[in-house]
A and B are shown apart, each in its own frame.
Chain A
Amino acid sequence: MIQDKKAHKFGMVIDLDKCTGCGSCTVSCMSENNIPFKEDESDKKDSITWMRVYRLTNGKSFPDTQIAYMPRPCQHCGGKGGHGHSPCVSVCPATATDYGYDTGIVSQIYTRCFGCRYCMGACPYHARYFNWWDPVWPEGMEKYLSPNVSPRMRGVVEKCSFCYHRYQLAREKAYYDGVDEIEEDAYQTACTTACPAGAIIFGDLNNPSHRIHQIVKPDPHPDPLNHDVVGKSRNPKVFRLLERLGTNPKVYYMSEREWVRKLGDNYLDGEWEKVKNHYGSASHD
Protein backbone atom coordinates (compact mmCIF):
# COMPACT_ATOMS: atom_id res chain seq x y z
CA MET A 1 0.00 0.00 0.00
CA ILE A 2 1.35 3.36 -0.99
CA GLN A 3 1.75 5.65 1.99
CA ASP A 4 3.40 9.01 2.12
CA LYS A 5 6.83 8.45 3.55
CA LYS A 6 6.57 11.73 5.42
CA ALA A 7 4.21 14.64 5.64
CA HIS A 8 4.33 17.30 2.96
CA LYS A 9 4.23 20.97 3.67
CA PHE A 10 3.17 22.64 0.47
CA GLY A 11 4.04 26.27 0.19
CA MET A 12 4.67 29.06 -2.19
CA VAL A 13 7.25 31.78 -2.61
CA ILE A 14 6.35 34.81 -4.69
CA ASP A 15 9.09 36.99 -6.13
CA LEU A 16 7.70 40.51 -5.89
CA ASP A 17 10.55 41.83 -8.03
CA LYS A 18 9.41 39.65 -10.91
CA CYS A 19 5.67 40.23 -10.50
CA THR A 20 4.38 42.70 -13.06
CA GLY A 21 0.86 42.85 -11.65
CA CYS A 22 -0.60 41.49 -14.89
CA GLY A 23 -3.31 39.53 -13.07
CA SER A 24 -2.81 36.23 -14.94
CA CYS A 25 -2.71 34.40 -11.63
CA THR A 26 -6.09 35.82 -10.64
CA VAL A 27 -7.69 34.94 -13.96
CA SER A 28 -6.27 31.43 -14.10
CA CYS A 29 -7.33 30.87 -10.50
CA MET A 30 -10.88 31.95 -11.25
CA SER A 31 -11.24 29.71 -14.28
CA GLU A 32 -9.52 26.77 -12.62
CA ASN A 33 -11.60 26.89 -9.47
CA ASN A 34 -15.03 27.71 -10.91
CA ILE A 35 -15.12 31.10 -9.22
CA PRO A 36 -18.18 33.02 -10.37
CA PHE A 37 -17.77 36.59 -11.50
CA LYS A 38 -20.19 39.40 -10.88
CA GLU A 39 -21.71 41.97 -13.17
CA ASP A 40 -19.69 44.59 -11.37
CA GLU A 41 -16.36 43.11 -10.41
CA SER A 42 -15.20 46.49 -9.12
CA ASP A 43 -17.57 46.07 -6.20
CA LYS A 44 -15.04 44.49 -3.88
CA LYS A 45 -17.60 43.75 -1.19
CA ASP A 46 -19.21 41.30 -3.56
CA SER A 47 -16.43 40.03 -5.81
CA ILE A 48 -14.53 36.84 -5.03
CA THR A 49 -10.82 36.61 -5.74
CA TRP A 50 -9.00 33.69 -4.15
CA MET A 51 -5.84 35.16 -5.59
CA ARG A 52 -5.86 38.92 -5.30
CA VAL A 53 -3.15 41.28 -6.49
CA TYR A 54 -2.47 44.27 -4.27
CA ARG A 55 -0.51 47.31 -5.39
CA LEU A 56 2.27 48.48 -3.12
CA THR A 57 4.03 51.82 -3.30
CA ASN A 58 6.95 53.29 -1.43
CA GLY A 59 4.92 56.47 -0.94
CA LYS A 60 7.54 58.75 -2.41
CA SER A 61 6.85 61.38 -5.04
CA PHE A 62 8.36 61.53 -8.51
CA PRO A 63 11.10 60.72 -9.46
CA ASP A 64 11.59 58.38 -6.49
CA THR A 65 8.22 56.62 -6.79
CA GLN A 66 8.38 52.85 -6.88
CA ILE A 67 5.58 50.35 -7.36
CA ALA A 68 5.36 46.68 -6.56
CA TYR A 69 2.53 44.19 -6.90
CA MET A 70 1.71 41.57 -4.33
CA PRO A 71 -0.42 38.55 -5.23
CA ARG A 72 -2.19 37.22 -2.17
CA PRO A 73 -3.60 33.67 -2.10
CA CYS A 74 -4.69 31.94 1.13
CA GLN A 75 -1.56 31.81 3.27
CA HIS A 76 -2.33 28.30 4.56
CA CYS A 77 -1.21 29.22 8.05
CA GLY A 78 0.27 26.55 10.26
CA GLY A 79 -0.82 28.48 13.35
CA LYS A 80 1.22 29.15 16.46
CA GLY A 81 4.24 26.87 16.55
CA GLY A 82 3.06 25.32 13.29
CA HIS A 83 0.73 22.96 15.14
CA GLY A 84 -2.18 23.40 12.76
CA HIS A 85 -4.21 25.86 14.81
CA SER A 86 -4.65 28.34 12.00
CA PRO A 87 -6.69 31.43 12.87
CA CYS A 88 -9.64 30.29 10.75
CA VAL A 89 -9.48 26.61 11.73
CA SER A 90 -9.48 27.38 15.45
CA VAL A 91 -12.62 29.53 15.29
CA CYS A 92 -14.82 27.52 12.91
CA PRO A 93 -17.83 26.26 14.91
CA ALA A 94 -18.81 23.78 12.20
CA THR A 95 -15.44 22.12 11.56
CA ALA A 96 -15.93 23.19 7.97
CA THR A 97 -12.26 24.01 7.70
CA ASP A 98 -9.41 21.86 8.95
CA TYR A 99 -5.65 21.66 8.74
CA GLY A 100 -4.32 18.76 6.72
CA TYR A 101 -1.30 17.56 8.62
CA ASP A 102 -0.32 15.42 5.64
CA THR A 103 -0.09 18.36 3.24
CA GLY A 104 -0.18 21.50 5.37
CA ILE A 105 -3.14 22.70 3.35
CA VAL A 106 -6.07 24.40 5.06
CA SER A 107 -9.33 23.02 3.70
CA GLN A 108 -12.73 24.58 3.23
CA ILE A 109 -15.70 22.24 2.94
CA TYR A 110 -18.56 24.15 1.37
CA THR A 111 -21.31 21.70 2.20
CA ARG A 112 -20.33 21.82 5.85
CA CYS A 113 -20.03 25.60 6.15
CA PHE A 114 -23.14 27.41 7.33
CA GLY A 115 -21.89 30.88 6.63
CA CYS A 116 -21.28 32.44 10.05
CA ARG A 117 -18.17 34.14 8.62
CA TYR A 118 -16.28 33.84 11.89
CA CYS A 119 -13.26 32.60 9.89
CA MET A 120 -13.34 35.72 7.75
CA GLY A 121 -13.06 37.81 10.87
CA ALA A 122 -10.23 35.64 12.17
CA CYS A 123 -8.16 35.68 8.98
CA PRO A 124 -5.56 38.45 9.15
CA TYR A 125 -4.99 38.26 5.38
CA HIS A 126 -8.54 38.79 4.06
CA ALA A 127 -8.11 35.57 2.12
CA ARG A 128 -11.64 34.33 2.71
CA TYR A 129 -14.71 35.33 0.76
CA PHE A 130 -18.41 34.99 1.34
CA ASN A 131 -20.92 34.01 -1.31
CA TRP A 132 -23.68 36.56 -1.00
CA TRP A 133 -25.39 35.13 -4.08
CA ASP A 134 -25.67 31.84 -5.89
CA PRO A 135 -23.15 31.69 -8.71
CA VAL A 136 -24.42 32.67 -12.14
CA TRP A 137 -22.49 31.97 -15.31
CA PRO A 138 -23.39 33.35 -18.70
CA GLU A 139 -25.47 31.00 -20.87
CA GLY A 140 -23.39 28.04 -22.01
CA MET A 141 -20.39 28.92 -19.89
CA GLU A 142 -21.31 26.43 -17.20
CA LYS A 143 -20.11 23.79 -19.67
CA TYR A 144 -16.59 25.10 -19.15
CA LEU A 145 -16.64 24.51 -15.42
CA SER A 146 -14.05 22.16 -13.99
CA PRO A 147 -15.62 18.92 -12.78
CA ASN A 148 -12.78 18.56 -10.27
CA VAL A 149 -13.86 21.56 -8.22
CA SER A 150 -17.25 21.76 -6.57
CA PRO A 151 -19.04 25.07 -7.22
CA ARG A 152 -20.16 26.94 -4.15
CA MET A 153 -23.68 27.91 -3.23
CA ARG A 154 -25.04 31.07 -1.66
CA GLY A 155 -24.28 31.47 2.03
CA VAL A 156 -20.90 29.77 2.36
CA VAL A 157 -17.31 30.92 2.67
CA GLU A 158 -14.66 29.96 0.13
CA LYS A 159 -10.94 30.43 -0.32
CA CYS A 160 -7.83 29.25 -2.12
CA SER A 161 -7.11 25.53 -1.72
CA PHE A 162 -3.65 25.50 -3.34
CA CYS A 163 -5.51 23.76 -6.21
CA TYR A 164 -5.91 20.66 -4.07
CA HIS A 165 -7.69 18.86 -6.91
CA ARG A 166 -4.41 18.99 -8.85
CA TYR A 167 -2.75 17.23 -5.94
CA GLN A 168 -5.51 14.62 -6.04
CA LEU A 169 -5.00 14.12 -9.76
CA ALA A 170 -1.23 13.85 -9.32
CA ARG A 171 -1.74 11.26 -6.60
CA GLU A 172 -4.09 9.22 -8.80
CA LYS A 173 -1.46 9.18 -11.52
CA ALA A 174 1.17 8.15 -8.98
CA TYR A 175 -1.06 5.32 -7.76
CA TYR A 176 -1.58 4.14 -11.32
CA ASP A 177 2.14 4.27 -12.06
CA GLY A 178 2.91 2.60 -8.75
CA VAL A 179 5.31 5.29 -7.58
CA ASP A 180 5.52 6.48 -3.99
CA GLU A 181 6.22 10.15 -4.38
CA ILE A 182 4.73 12.69 -6.73
CA GLU A 183 7.21 14.78 -8.69
CA GLU A 184 7.59 18.48 -8.07
CA ASP A 185 6.23 19.21 -11.56
CA ALA A 186 3.28 16.87 -11.17
CA TYR A 187 1.57 19.12 -8.66
CA GLN A 188 1.65 22.84 -9.37
CA THR A 189 -1.10 25.35 -8.73
CA ALA A 190 -2.92 27.11 -11.57
CA CYS A 191 -1.47 30.51 -10.65
CA THR A 192 2.07 29.12 -10.65
CA THR A 193 1.73 27.68 -14.12
CA ALA A 194 -0.02 30.78 -15.46
CA CYS A 195 2.47 33.39 -14.22
CA PRO A 196 4.27 34.67 -17.33
CA ALA A 197 7.10 36.13 -15.25
CA GLY A 198 7.71 32.93 -13.31
CA ALA A 199 7.31 34.91 -10.11
CA ILE A 200 5.46 32.16 -8.25
CA ILE A 201 7.31 29.06 -7.12
CA PHE A 202 5.32 26.25 -5.57
CA GLY A 203 6.48 23.07 -3.92
CA ASP A 204 7.05 21.09 -0.76
CA LEU A 205 8.79 23.03 2.01
CA ASN A 206 9.74 19.73 3.63
CA ASN A 207 11.51 18.43 0.55
CA PRO A 208 15.10 19.75 0.20
CA SER A 209 15.14 18.92 -3.52
CA HIS A 210 12.26 21.28 -4.27
CA ARG A 211 13.08 24.78 -5.48
CA ILE A 212 10.97 26.43 -2.81
CA HIS A 213 12.98 24.74 -0.07
CA GLN A 214 16.23 25.91 -1.64
CA ILE A 215 15.01 29.51 -1.93
CA VAL A 216 13.22 29.83 1.40
CA LYS A 217 15.59 27.69 3.47
CA PRO A 218 12.97 27.31 6.21
CA ASP A 219 14.42 27.32 9.69
CA PRO A 220 13.90 23.94 11.39
CA HIS A 221 14.02 25.65 14.80
CA PRO A 222 11.55 28.10 16.30
CA ASP A 223 12.49 31.76 16.10
CA PRO A 224 14.53 32.54 19.26
CA LEU A 225 12.89 35.97 19.49
CA ASN A 226 9.37 34.59 19.24
CA HIS A 227 8.79 30.89 19.84
CA ASP A 228 5.41 30.95 18.12
CA VAL A 229 7.16 31.57 14.83
CA VAL A 230 8.47 28.49 13.06
CA GLY A 231 9.76 27.93 9.55
CA LYS A 232 11.17 31.44 9.33
CA SER A 233 13.22 31.93 6.21
CA ARG A 234 16.97 32.01 6.47
CA ASN A 235 17.15 33.91 3.20
CA PRO A 236 17.52 37.65 3.95
CA LYS A 237 15.37 38.55 0.95
CA VAL A 238 12.43 36.39 1.98
CA PHE A 239 9.70 37.46 4.40
CA ARG A 240 6.14 36.58 5.35
CA LEU A 241 3.13 38.78 5.96
CA LEU A 242 2.51 39.74 9.60
CA GLU A 243 5.09 37.14 10.53
CA ARG A 244 5.32 38.07 14.22
CA LEU A 245 1.66 37.15 14.80
CA GLY A 246 2.83 33.55 14.75
CA THR A 247 0.29 32.50 12.13
CA ASN A 248 3.15 30.83 10.25
CA PRO A 249 1.95 31.24 6.68
CA LYS A 250 3.28 28.88 4.03
CA VAL A 251 3.23 31.66 1.47
CA TYR A 252 6.55 33.50 1.44
CA TYR A 253 7.40 36.68 -0.41
CA MET A 254 10.75 37.69 -1.79
CA SER A 255 12.17 41.06 -2.72
CA GLU A 256 15.56 42.74 -3.05
CA ARG A 257 13.97 46.06 -2.10
CA GLU A 258 13.93 46.90 1.56
CA TRP A 259 10.82 49.10 1.36
CA VAL A 260 8.85 46.17 -0.04
CA ARG A 261 9.98 43.85 2.74
CA LYS A 262 9.10 46.49 5.28
CA LEU A 263 5.50 46.50 4.02
CA GLY A 264 5.15 42.91 5.21
CA ASP A 265 4.02 44.22 8.60
CA ASN A 266 2.89 47.41 10.33
CA TYR A 267 6.10 48.40 12.02
CA LEU A 268 6.14 51.17 14.62
CA ASP A 269 8.96 53.69 14.63
CA GLY A 270 12.25 51.93 15.24
CA GLU A 271 10.83 48.39 15.10
CA TRP A 272 11.95 47.74 11.55
CA GLU A 273 15.54 48.61 12.38
CA LYS A 274 15.57 45.88 15.04
CA VAL A 275 14.18 43.09 12.89
CA LYS A 276 15.35 43.88 9.37
CA ASN A 277 18.60 41.98 9.63
CA HIS A 278 17.14 39.12 11.61
CA TYR A 279 16.42 36.02 9.61
CA GLY A 280 16.18 32.50 10.95
CA SER A 281 17.71 31.29 14.17
CA ALA A 282 21.23 32.53 14.90
CA SER A 283 22.61 29.00 15.09
CA HIS A 284 21.78 28.42 11.45
CA ASP A 285 23.12 31.54 9.82
Chain B
Amino acid sequence: MSEIENKTEHGSMDGAKECAAEDPKDDTGLGLGVLFFIVAFLICFLSGWLLFPKLLYSKHEQPFSFDHALHVQETGDCESCHFLREDGTFSGIPKTQSCLDCHTDEPMGETEDEAVFTAEYVAKEREVPWYVYAKQPDCVYFSHAAHITAAGMDCITCHGHIGESASSRPYEENRLTGYSRDIWGKNIWGIKKNSWDSMKMDDCAQCHQEETGHKGYCLQCHK
Protein backbone atom coordinates (compact mmCIF):
# COMPACT_ATOMS: atom_id res chain seq x y z
CA MET B 1 0.00 0.00 0.00
CA SER B 2 1.39 3.39 -0.90
CA GLU B 3 1.93 6.02 1.73
CA ILE B 4 -0.78 8.23 0.35
CA GLU B 5 -3.33 5.48 0.49
CA ASN B 6 -2.24 4.72 4.00
CA LYS B 7 -2.83 8.32 5.02
CA THR B 8 -6.18 8.38 3.33
CA GLU B 9 -7.19 5.32 5.23
CA HIS B 10 -6.08 6.85 8.53
CA GLY B 11 -7.80 10.03 7.56
CA SER B 12 -11.04 8.26 7.08
CA MET B 13 -10.56 6.49 10.39
CA ASP B 14 -10.04 9.86 12.10
CA GLY B 15 -13.22 10.95 10.50
CA ALA B 16 -14.95 7.99 12.01
CA LYS B 17 -13.54 8.88 15.42
CA GLU B 18 -14.76 12.43 15.10
CA CYS B 19 -18.21 11.06 14.44
CA ALA B 20 -17.87 9.02 17.59
CA ALA B 21 -16.74 12.09 19.54
CA GLU B 22 -19.96 13.82 18.68
CA ASP B 23 -21.73 11.07 20.47
CA PRO B 24 -22.44 12.52 23.94
CA LYS B 25 -21.61 9.23 25.60
CA ASP B 26 -17.95 9.22 24.34
CA ASP B 27 -16.10 12.56 24.88
CA THR B 28 -12.47 11.32 24.89
CA GLY B 29 -11.60 13.57 21.92
CA LEU B 30 -12.97 16.63 23.67
CA GLY B 31 -11.08 15.80 26.86
CA LEU B 32 -7.83 15.41 24.92
CA GLY B 33 -8.45 18.72 23.22
CA VAL B 34 -8.97 20.51 26.52
CA LEU B 35 -5.86 18.88 27.96
CA PHE B 36 -3.87 19.86 24.89
CA PHE B 37 -5.09 23.45 25.24
CA ILE B 38 -4.20 23.64 28.93
CA VAL B 39 -0.73 22.16 28.42
CA ALA B 40 -0.02 24.44 25.46
CA PHE B 41 -1.30 27.43 27.39
CA LEU B 42 0.90 26.60 30.36
CA ILE B 43 3.97 26.15 28.18
CA CYS B 44 3.39 29.46 26.42
CA PHE B 45 2.44 31.25 29.62
CA LEU B 46 5.36 30.01 31.68
CA SER B 47 7.92 30.58 28.95
CA GLY B 48 6.60 34.10 28.57
CA TRP B 49 6.54 34.63 32.32
CA LEU B 50 9.99 33.23 33.03
CA LEU B 51 11.90 33.68 29.78
CA PHE B 52 10.56 36.98 28.45
CA PRO B 53 12.09 39.17 31.17
CA LYS B 54 15.43 37.41 30.67
CA LEU B 55 15.20 37.99 26.93
CA LEU B 56 14.04 41.58 27.31
CA TYR B 57 16.74 42.76 29.70
CA SER B 58 20.49 42.51 29.34
CA LYS B 59 22.56 42.64 32.51
CA HIS B 60 25.59 44.81 33.12
CA GLU B 61 27.80 44.64 36.17
CA GLN B 62 28.84 47.96 37.68
CA PRO B 63 32.55 48.83 37.34
CA PHE B 64 32.91 47.72 40.95
CA SER B 65 30.53 47.08 43.80
CA PHE B 66 29.65 50.05 46.00
CA ASP B 67 28.66 49.74 49.64
CA HIS B 68 26.02 52.40 50.23
CA ALA B 69 25.31 51.30 53.81
CA LEU B 70 28.94 51.76 54.83
CA HIS B 71 29.19 55.19 53.20
CA VAL B 72 25.96 56.45 54.73
CA GLN B 73 27.28 55.26 58.08
CA GLU B 74 30.53 57.16 57.57
CA THR B 75 29.14 60.37 56.05
CA GLY B 76 25.79 60.45 57.80
CA ASP B 77 23.39 61.26 54.96
CA CYS B 78 22.73 61.14 51.21
CA GLU B 79 23.50 64.85 50.68
CA SER B 80 27.22 64.41 51.33
CA CYS B 81 27.59 62.89 47.87
CA HIS B 82 24.29 63.65 46.08
CA PHE B 83 23.40 67.32 46.38
CA LEU B 84 21.83 70.34 44.76
CA ARG B 85 24.19 72.79 43.15
CA GLU B 86 23.79 76.50 43.81
CA ASP B 87 22.04 77.03 40.48
CA GLY B 88 19.38 74.53 41.54
CA THR B 89 20.53 71.67 39.31
CA PHE B 90 21.26 68.31 40.85
CA SER B 91 24.62 66.61 41.17
CA GLY B 92 23.62 62.96 41.10
CA ILE B 93 26.78 60.95 40.51
CA PRO B 94 29.76 62.27 42.47
CA LYS B 95 32.98 62.98 40.62
CA THR B 96 36.08 61.06 41.63
CA GLN B 97 37.39 64.34 43.01
CA SER B 98 34.64 64.49 45.64
CA CYS B 99 35.45 60.91 46.70
CA LEU B 100 38.96 62.18 47.38
CA ASP B 101 37.59 64.37 50.15
CA CYS B 102 37.89 61.22 52.25
CA HIS B 103 39.75 58.70 50.11
CA THR B 104 43.39 58.83 49.07
CA ASP B 105 45.19 56.83 46.44
CA GLU B 106 45.76 54.22 49.14
CA PRO B 107 42.73 52.02 49.94
CA MET B 108 41.13 52.77 53.32
CA GLY B 109 39.68 49.29 53.74
CA GLU B 110 40.57 45.84 52.55
CA THR B 111 37.88 45.13 49.97
CA GLU B 112 38.72 44.16 46.42
CA ASP B 113 36.25 46.75 45.12
CA GLU B 114 38.03 49.61 46.79
CA ALA B 115 41.31 48.33 45.38
CA VAL B 116 39.78 48.54 41.91
CA PHE B 117 38.57 52.05 42.65
CA THR B 118 41.94 53.35 43.80
CA ALA B 119 43.96 51.55 41.16
CA GLU B 120 41.73 52.19 38.15
CA TYR B 121 40.10 55.52 38.89
CA VAL B 122 41.95 57.45 41.58
CA ALA B 123 45.43 56.62 40.36
CA LYS B 124 44.51 57.18 36.70
CA GLU B 125 42.38 60.26 37.50
CA ARG B 126 39.37 58.92 35.69
CA GLU B 127 35.65 59.13 36.41
CA VAL B 128 33.83 55.94 37.28
CA PRO B 129 31.47 55.01 34.42
CA TRP B 130 28.58 54.02 36.66
CA TYR B 131 25.39 52.64 35.21
CA VAL B 132 22.61 54.83 36.61
CA TYR B 133 19.63 52.76 37.73
CA ALA B 134 17.29 55.73 37.88
CA LYS B 135 18.30 57.28 34.56
CA GLN B 136 15.23 58.54 32.75
CA PRO B 137 14.79 58.61 28.97
CA ASP B 138 16.20 61.64 27.15
CA CYS B 139 12.78 63.23 26.65
CA VAL B 140 12.17 63.46 30.39
CA TYR B 141 12.86 66.54 32.46
CA PHE B 142 13.06 66.02 36.20
CA SER B 143 13.82 68.68 38.77
CA HIS B 144 15.27 67.44 42.04
CA ALA B 145 14.99 70.98 43.42
CA ALA B 146 11.23 71.05 42.86
CA HIS B 147 10.76 67.74 44.65
CA ILE B 148 13.29 68.04 47.48
CA THR B 149 13.27 71.75 48.28
CA ALA B 150 9.81 72.85 47.22
CA ALA B 151 7.75 69.71 47.87
CA GLY B 152 9.88 68.51 50.79
CA MET B 153 10.09 64.92 49.61
CA ASP B 154 12.71 62.47 50.80
CA CYS B 155 14.99 60.34 48.63
CA ILE B 156 13.33 57.07 49.61
CA THR B 157 9.96 57.92 48.02
CA CYS B 158 11.43 57.47 44.55
CA HIS B 159 14.75 55.73 45.08
CA GLY B 160 13.80 53.25 47.79
CA HIS B 161 16.21 52.01 50.43
CA ILE B 162 19.29 52.16 48.21
CA GLY B 163 21.17 53.73 51.12
CA GLU B 164 20.95 50.46 53.00
CA SER B 165 22.40 48.25 50.28
CA ALA B 166 25.81 46.72 50.92
CA SER B 167 26.60 45.95 47.29
CA SER B 168 25.67 47.05 43.79
CA ARG B 169 23.14 44.92 41.97
CA PRO B 170 23.58 44.40 38.22
CA TYR B 171 22.16 47.11 35.99
CA GLU B 172 19.47 45.74 33.72
CA GLU B 173 18.91 47.40 30.38
CA ASN B 174 15.81 46.99 28.24
CA ARG B 175 17.09 45.70 24.91
CA LEU B 176 14.29 47.34 22.96
CA THR B 177 14.27 50.81 24.50
CA GLY B 178 17.71 50.99 26.08
CA TYR B 179 16.13 52.19 29.32
CA SER B 180 16.98 50.99 32.79
CA ARG B 181 14.74 48.27 34.19
CA ASP B 182 14.04 50.50 37.20
CA ILE B 183 11.83 52.67 34.99
CA TRP B 184 9.29 49.92 34.39
CA GLY B 185 10.10 48.17 37.64
CA LYS B 186 11.06 44.65 38.62
CA ASN B 187 7.53 43.32 38.27
CA ILE B 188 6.92 42.51 34.63
CA TRP B 189 3.17 43.07 35.10
CA GLY B 190 3.79 46.56 36.33
CA ILE B 191 2.27 45.86 39.76
CA LYS B 192 3.83 48.05 42.42
CA LYS B 193 3.71 47.71 46.16
CA ASN B 194 5.94 50.64 47.09
CA SER B 195 6.20 54.13 45.65
CA TRP B 196 9.77 53.42 44.50
CA ASP B 197 8.98 50.20 42.64
CA SER B 198 8.70 51.91 39.26
CA MET B 199 9.43 55.31 37.73
CA LYS B 200 7.17 55.44 34.69
CA MET B 201 5.26 58.48 33.46
CA ASP B 202 2.10 57.03 35.00
CA ASP B 203 3.82 56.83 38.38
CA CYS B 204 4.80 60.50 38.17
CA ALA B 205 1.31 61.46 37.01
CA GLN B 206 -0.36 59.47 39.78
CA CYS B 207 1.63 61.19 42.50
CA HIS B 208 1.18 64.62 40.89
CA GLN B 209 -2.55 64.03 40.70
CA GLU B 210 -2.71 63.09 44.36
CA GLU B 211 -0.39 65.79 45.66
CA THR B 212 -1.14 68.76 43.42
CA GLY B 213 -4.56 67.85 42.03
CA HIS B 214 -3.25 68.00 38.48
CA LYS B 215 -1.15 65.67 36.35
CA GLY B 216 0.66 68.71 34.98
CA TYR B 217 1.08 69.98 31.46
CA CYS B 218 3.31 68.13 29.02
CA LEU B 219 6.28 70.46 29.29
CA GLN B 220 6.33 70.22 33.05
CA CYS B 221 8.08 66.86 32.78
CA HIS B 222 9.19 66.72 29.16
CA LYS B 223 11.84 68.50 27.20
Q: How far is the CA of A111 from the CA of B139 in the complex (A)?
A: 7
Interface residues on A, range: 20 to 34
Q: Which residues from 172 to 187 on chain A have a C-beta closer than 8 Å to any C-beta of chain B?
A: 172-178
Q: Is A226 among interface residues, defined by CB-CB distance under 8 A?
A: no
Of chain B, the residue at the smallest CB distance from A170 is B88
What is the interface of chain B, defined by CB distance below 8 A to chain A? 84, 86-89, 137-139, 141, 143, 145-146, 149-152, 217-220, 222-223
Q: Are A101 and B217 in contact (CB under 8 A)?
A: yes
Which A-B residue pairs are the 5 nearest by beta carbons? Answer: A172-B88, A176-B88, A175-B145, A100-B217, A173-B88
Least Cβ–Cβ distance between B177 and chain A, in angstroms? 11
Partner of A164, one of B86, B145, B219: B219
CB pair A172–B222 under 8 Å, yes or no, is no
Contact of A169 among B88, B149, B219 (CB under 8 A): B88
B219/A172 in contact, CB under 8 A: no
Find the A residue at minimum CB distance from B147. A175
Q: Do A168 and B143 have beta carbons less than 8 Å apart? A: yes
The answer to whether A165 touches B217 (Cβ under 8 A) is: no
CB distance from B74 to the nearest CB of A (A): 27
Interface residues of A (CB under 8 A from B): 1-2, 97-103, 105, 107, 109-112, 148-151, 161, 164-165, 168-169, 171-178
Inter-chain contacts of B141 with A (CB < 8 A): 148, 165, 168
User: Given A1-B151, A165-B223, are A172 and B218 also a contact pair (CB < 8 Å)?
Assistant: no
**Once the chains bind, are A161 and B219 in contact (CB under 8 Å)?**
yes
- CB distance A105 to B143 under 8 Å? no
CA distance A105 to B219 in the complex (A): 9
Complex-state Cα separation, A171 to B143, whole angstroms: 9
Q: List 19 A-B contacts (CB under 8 A).
A: A1-B151, A2-B150, A99-B217, A100-B217, A100-B220, A107-B217, A110-B139, A164-B219, A165-B141, A168-B143, A168-B223, A169-B87, A175-B145, A175-B149, A175-B150, A176-B84, A176-B87, A177-B88, A178-B149
Q: Are B149 and A176 in contact (CB under 8 A)?
A: yes
Give Cα distance in the complex from A97 to B87, angstroms: 29
In Å, the complex CA distance between A13 and B223 comes to 24
